[in-house]
Amino acid sequence: MRALVVDGSAWALEADSQILMSAAASMEIDAVSEREQVMSRLQEPADIDLIMCLIRDDGFPGYDVVESLSHWALGVPVAVLSARDSLEEMLKARRSGAAGFVPISLRRAVIVNAICILLAGGTYFPACRYLRRLNESASPLGHGAALSSLTNLTPRQGEILEFMSQGLTNKEIARKMGLSDGTIRAHVAAIFRAMGVRNRLQATKIYFENARGRAQSLGSAL
């Protein structure tokens, strides 16, 4: 097996390689730490089994690099290991075409397991991690307000919101639903108006807050 590791911190490439070797002992690793090296690789055949990008700050690599690599190696899983552990970052990774989002704050064993899942053809987006955080802290809107804003949505808008919560782009949602990009854009704008929010992140937070409330209600009923 072969893997391409992209990390702007050249000193950390050895540690990155050790993570991959823990997931697959026979892994052959090609590590790059500069944008020019990535651009050069994009001109070659994508004869690899995994791409791992380490996002540590606002510099290189960014999600533009992740997106370019995802398009270059169609069908090859791209794992984003991120120093920024948040719902917003997870959604950015999903929209960029990554197959997995792994906060580097996780225990090493969990990171290795996530890599194994990706190598086996699965995906890894720990949405429950952020749902638990919402459960531990009060929402600015409160569950009642969050639920009220969702009741304003039509069934179709609710379906689109669910896809949005998975990090899908308008184009991906359109493809799944058999609709045009323009129709989805119009629905998304209507969803924002109905929910009283200004962007996807705010809408997704309310979606997860509502899911948290429903889970609590179900737990109380059992």
Q: The domain spanning residue 40 has which CATH number? A: 3.40.50.2300
Q: Are 72 and 46 in contact (CB under 8 A)?
A: yes
How would residue 145 be classed by pLDDT, with cut points 50, 70 and 90? low
State how many domains the chain has: 2
The torsion region of residue 142 among left (phi > 0), alpha (psi -120 to 50) and beta comes to left
CATH number of the domain encompassing residue 193: 1.10.10.10
- If you average pLDDT over residues 151-163, what whole number do you get? 87
How would residue 218 be classed by pLDDT, with cut points 50, 70 and 90? very low
Q: Please give the residue range of the domain that contains residue 53.
A: 2-125
**What pLDDT shows up at residue 214?**
52
Q: Tally Cβ neighbours within 10 Å of residue 42.
A: 14
DSSP string, 91-110: HHHHHTT-SEEEETTS-HHH
200 has a pLDDT exceeding 80? yes
**What pLDDT shows up at residue 163?**
87
Least confident among 5-9, 93-97, 190-194, 212-216: 212-216
Q: Are residues 79 and 138 in the same domain?
A: no
**What pLDDT shows up at residue 140?**
47
